[in-house]
């Protein structure tokens, strides 16, 4: 965030045009969306719907979308802090600002300056953007004219490199949008444009970050958690509920499938040497997740695996485990260091939940040492004494689904 806070209403003494043309609007900029030529209409439609959903219940008059901008017309500028926070979750948005929309004249922009800014700043800059090319002045001319005026009116110094205050003016067919603050958006692509995936959510640090990354690329995510409850406590399941609550801010509604894996694990334990147990659990997880994916119309599975992070995530093991499913397994964190993942978890707000102690099902009946080299053939051989389809069905019958909504 740069510039001054303009969350305050215009000063009562500000001489706004009294013809009713001044209006508060949030000007939203989007990036990649605009580049997707063939799908532009679709992307913009989804982005607009997502913005509307994010702002549900707030005093918004209308959300209007144009080829390069979106306008959120506010019925009440006092809603800005809430609007600012909610829009921060909408992928596809590159930046946004609360603007005072005035008629497209320099005089109106001068009045808007006084309405938005209290006392004179030590230094300032004007940044203009002419989005409406029919406006008679170029961006540079607008900056020069308004800069000269503000300097004269306030005695403030012009500083184009590190101004204390930046006065932004954007000319659009809808009028002149003036502000002193630009908020950075989350970027990415609008959720709903990237297809549906199932994410395996453990309650640990990595899988929420992996899920976030898929949401950020526009995917709708259905969550699946495997728990050994009631053989263990339900702490990892509770953590997953809290994590899904946070991640749902980006897609407005989520489903969390909680699969009780304990009985399947006990069957594996009696059939398979100890150091292979965790790999067998994982193969079962992928199969069960695949069944859920087919039910939910999802085309891929997502995990928080990162190459070599732990013994079960060597390349050999990833390959040997993945063979259990025909769906692609997407691993957005595959090349990341743990420290990088932790930093991202902190940034997206999942870290504090993830580090709460829990009893994850992968700790249930697992020896300290895991086989670091396995092959699909070896694991398939070990499974031959198990009735795999029956175990998948058993686990699916021990599954609960919970729905989450935001806001
Ligand atoms: P995380 O921090 O996501 O738990 P991790 O570093 O602990 O990852 P593993 O425990 O080996 O790594 O798990 C690797 C991936 O397998 C997880 O990121 C997750 O996608 C999936 N996974 C593991 N355990 C579970 C579980 N109980 N429920 C759902 N998915 C799981
Ligand atoms: Mg884990």
High-pLDDT (> 90) share of the chain, % = 84
User: In the CATH scheme, what is the code of domain 23-184?
Assistant: 3.30.2130.30
pLDDT tier, 103 (very low <50, low <70, confident <90, very high otherwise)? very high
pTM over 0.75: yes
What's the pLDDT at 18? 63
Rounded to a whole number, what is the distance in angstroms from the first to the last CA of the chain?
A: 23
Say if ligand 1 is within 6 A of residue 361 CB.
Answer: yes
CA-338 nearest atom, ligand 1: 6
Q: Give, using CA atoms, the residue closest to atom 7 of ligand 1.
A: 204
Per residue in 49-94, pLDDT (tens digit) is 999 999 999 999 999 998 889 999 999 999 999 999 999 999 999 9
Q: Indicate which ligand has the atom closest to the C-alpha of 256.
A: 1
| Mean confidence (pLDDT) of the chain | 92
Average pLDDT over residues 167-178: 96
Per residue in 182-191, pLDDT (tens digit) is 999 999 999 9
Task: Report CA(305)–ligand 2 centroid distance (Å).
Answer: 9
- In the chain, what are the domain boundaries? 23-184, 196-405
Query: Which two structure tokens, joined as six digits, stand for 330?
Result: 């997407």
Task: Report CA(204)–ligand 2 centroid distance (Å).
Answer: 5
Task: Report CA(207)–ligand 1 centroid distance (Å).
Answer: 6
Per residue in 234-261, pLDDT (tens digit) is 999 999 999 999 999 999 999 999 999 9
User: In the CATH scheme, what is the code of domain 196-405?
Assistant: 3.40.50.620
What's the pLDDT at 1? 42
Say if ligand 1 is within 6 A of residue 201 CB.
Answer: yes
Contacts of 109 (CB under 8 A, 6+ apart): 102, 142, 146, 169, 176, 178
Nearest to 383 by CA among 286, 315, 297, 304: 286
- Is the pLDDT assigned to residue 40 strictly greater than 80? yes
Give the separation between CA 93 and CA 249, rounded to whole angstroms.
14
Query: Which two structure tokens, joined as six digits, stand for 122?
Result: 């030590």
Say if ligand 1 is within 6 A of residue 358 CB.
Answer: no
Q: Give, using CA atoms, the residue closest to atom 6 of ligand 1.
A: 206
Helix (H) or strand (E) holding 179: strand 175-179
pLDDT tier, 14 (very low <50, low <70, confident <90, very high otherwise)? low
CA-306 nearest atom, ligand 1: 6
Say if ligand 1 is within 6 A of residue 290 CB.
Answer: no
Handedness of CA 273, 276, 281, 285 (dihedral sign): negative
**What are the start-end ranges of the H helices in 297-406?**
315-322, 338-348, 351-354, 376-383, 388-397
What's the pLDDT at 3? 45
């Amino acid at each position: 965030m740069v510039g001054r806070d303009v969350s305050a209403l215009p000063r009562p003494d500000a001489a706004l045009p009294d013809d009713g043309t001044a209006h508060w609007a949030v000007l939203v900029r989007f990036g990649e969306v605009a580049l997707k030529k063939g799908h532009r209409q679709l992307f913009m439609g989804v982005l607009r719907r997502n913005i509307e959903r994010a702002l549900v219940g707030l005093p918004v008059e209308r959300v209007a979308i144009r080829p390069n901008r979106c306008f959120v017309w506010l019925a009440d500028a006092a809603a800005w802090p809430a609007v600012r926070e909610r829009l921060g979750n909408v992928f596809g948005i590159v930046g946004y600002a609360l603007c005072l929309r005035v008629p497209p004249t320099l005089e109106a922009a001068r009045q808007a300056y006084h309405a938005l800014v209290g006392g004179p700043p030590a230094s300032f800059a004007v940044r203009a953007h002419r989005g409406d090319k029919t406006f008679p002045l170029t961006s540079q001319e607008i900056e020069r004219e308004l800069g000269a005026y503000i300097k004269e009116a306030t005695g403030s110094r012009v500083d184009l490199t590190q101004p204390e205050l930046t006065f932004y003016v954007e000319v659009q067919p809808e009028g002149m949008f003036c502000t002193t603050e630009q908020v950075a958006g989350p970027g990415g692509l609008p959720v709903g444009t990237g297809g549906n995936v199932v994410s395996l959510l453990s309650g640990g640090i990595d899988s929420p970050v992996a899920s976030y990354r898929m949401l950020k690329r526009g995917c709708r995510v259905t969550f699946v958690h495997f728990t050994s409850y009631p053989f263990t406590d339900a702490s990892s399941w509770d953590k997953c509920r809290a994590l899904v609550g946070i991640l749902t801010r980006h897609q407005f509604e989520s489903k969390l499938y909680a699969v009780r894996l304990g009985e399947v694990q006990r069957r594996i334990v009696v059939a398979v040497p100890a150091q292979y147990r965790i790999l067998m659990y994982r193969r079962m997880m992928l199969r069960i997740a695949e069944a859920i994916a087919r039910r939910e119309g999802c085309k891929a599975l997502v995990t928080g695996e990162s190459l070599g992070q732990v013994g079960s995530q060597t390349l050999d093991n990833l390959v040997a485990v993945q063979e259990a499913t025909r769906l692609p397994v997407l691993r957005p964190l595959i090349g990341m260091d743990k420290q990088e993942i932790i930093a991202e978890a902190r940034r997206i707000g999942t870290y504090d939940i993830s580090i709460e102690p829990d009893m994850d099902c992968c700790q249930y009946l697992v020896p300290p040492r895991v086989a670091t080299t396995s092959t699909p053939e070896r694991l398939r051989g070990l499974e031959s004494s198990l009735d795999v389809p029956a175990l998948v069905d058993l686990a699916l019958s021990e599954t609960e689904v919970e729905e989450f909504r935001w806001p």
